Structure formats: C-alpha cells, structure tokens
C-alpha cells in the first residue's frame, strides 16, 4: 500500500528547493572556475620546466595524489601543484650538475689548520 504524501508534508517548498539547487550549482561553477584559473597558472609554471623537469613534476604530483589525493580539497591540490612546480624549478639547477659517485666535494670544512699552513 503506497501512501500518498500531502502537498504540504515536506518542510521545503518546490520554490525553496529550486533556489537552493540554483545556489549550490552556482557555487560549484564558481569554485571550478577558480580552480581552472589556478590550474592554468600551474600549467604555465610547468611549461617553463625542461622535459626532465616535467617528468619529475608529474612523478611527484602523482605520488602526492596517490598518498593524499582523497583527503585534499581542490584548493589544496592547486596549492600543492604550485609548490611542486616551484620546487622542481629550483632543483633543476642542482640536477644540471653532472656528478659521479667518486667525485670529491667542491668545498670542505676544515676545523683545524693543516700542518704547514697549506690547504
């Protein structure tokens, strides 16, 4: 036996429901527009990276998404993309120097003067 509900059994009218749906939709569109603008800025930062830098960026970004993606909001994800892009850009100069395992350090810390005064 199906019960028919009376037109006034719901505390929310159709007009109020429509208004709330419109507000929620508008808020979602505005948030996605802000996120799209921020991602466009991130993409410009990523485009400035070298090919190896882009690969490092994608690797780091996928690692963050794998570990924390479910807990991050869109704004936090956008901020993380910016942080990773900046870090990769800063590290490109470090990665540009070719080193082998046997290479001596460029500088050394001398706590005591060597005998004879020569370094």
pLDDT surpassing 70 at residue 26: no
Flag whether 2 is in a domain: no
- pLDDT above 70: percentage of residues in the chain: 75
- Note whether residue 13 is domain-resident: no
On whether residue 70 sits in a domain, the answer given is yes
25-29, 74-78, 91-95 — which is least confidently predicted?
25-29
Domain of residue 68: give its range.
18-95
H/E stretch holding 90: helix 74-95
Residue 60: band (very low, low, confident or very high) from pLDDT cuts 50, 70, 90: very high
Round to whole Å and give the CA distance between 101 and 78. Answer: 37
**pLDDT at residue 33, rounded to an integer:** 55
Identify which has the larger pLDDT, 105 or 119. 105
Q: How many domains does the chain have?
A: 1
Residue 63 pLDDT level (bands cut at 50, 70, 90): very high
Q: Cα 75 from chain centroid? A: 9
Domain membership flag for residue 72: yes
The mean pLDDT of 6-15, rounded to a whole number, is 68
């Amino acid at each position: 036996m199906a019960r028919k509900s009376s037109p006034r059994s719901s505390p929310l009218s159709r007009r109020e429901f429509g208004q709330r749906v419109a507000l929620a939709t508008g808020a979602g569109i505005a948030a996605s527009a802000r996120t799209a603008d921020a991602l466009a800025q991130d993409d410009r930062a990523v485009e400035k990276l070298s090919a190896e830098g882009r690969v490092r960026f994608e690797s780091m970004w996928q690692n963050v998404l794998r570990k924390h993606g479910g807990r991050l909001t869109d704004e936090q994800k956008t901020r993380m993309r910016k942080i990773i892009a900046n870090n990769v850009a800063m590290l490109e100069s470090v990665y540009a120097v070719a080193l082998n395992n046997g290479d001596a350090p460029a500088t050394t810390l001398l706590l005591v003067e060597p005998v004879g005064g020569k370094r």
